[in-house]
Amino acid sequence: MEHIQVSLIMGSISDWETMKKAAQVLDEFGVSYEKKVVSAHRTPDLMFDHAEKARERGIKVIIAGAGGAAHLPGMVAAKTTLPVIGVPIKSRVLSGIDSLYSIVQMPGGVPVMTMAIGDSGATNAGLSAVRILALENSELNKKLVAFAEKQSKLAEESSHDLI
């Protein structure tokens, strides 16, 4: 069994509706991952332990989705040297702007790659993780090239329909 490469974490089970988009991308590319609820506010000790031990467990990239105050991606980034990709979850109150601002405003020295709010952000987080892993995996890179070619072809076909 291949070791898990990506840790897909979220602050609440309700975030899964968005974060499953990242999981779908990882599934499409055959990238192994774990998915867990790890709350910065409700389970801070679990969050710190998860971040601190991720590298020794073989994790290469962490995707962290969070809504509201959205401290999870930044706090995880503070406790690991692994790449952390933050996904702002669309909230009922402020439509995810609060989450975006919380994640994107990390102080210098604690990087979090921040995606768009919601489903597009989760999809791109999955693709970003695949791209990071493809740096050292030629088979995965071939899949990315084929994916990009397919995206281009679909875009070309849909543009011809309008002309």
Q: Is 98 annotated as a binding residue?
A: no
SS3 assignment for 35-54: EEECCCCCCHHHHHHHHHHC
Q: Residue 113: what are its φ and ψ, rounded to 5°?
A: -70, 120
Mean pLDDT on 109-129:
98
Summarised one tens digit per residue, pLDDT across range 6-27 is 999 999 999 999 999 999 999 9
Summarised one tens digit per residue, pLDDT across range 69-95 is 899 999 999 999 999 999 999 988 899
Per-residue pLDDT, 22: 98
Which pair of structure tokens corresponds to residue 21? Answer: 């988009």
Q: What are the respective helix, strand and coil percentages of the chain, to the nearest 5?
A: 50, 15, 35
Q: Is 57 annotated as a binding residue?
A: no
Domain boundaries, the chain: 4-136
Per-residue pLDDT, 1: 47
Q: Mean pLDDT across the chain, nearest whole number?
A: 94
CATH number listed for the domain at residues 4-136: 3.40.50.1970
Q: Is 102 annotated as a binding residue?
A: no
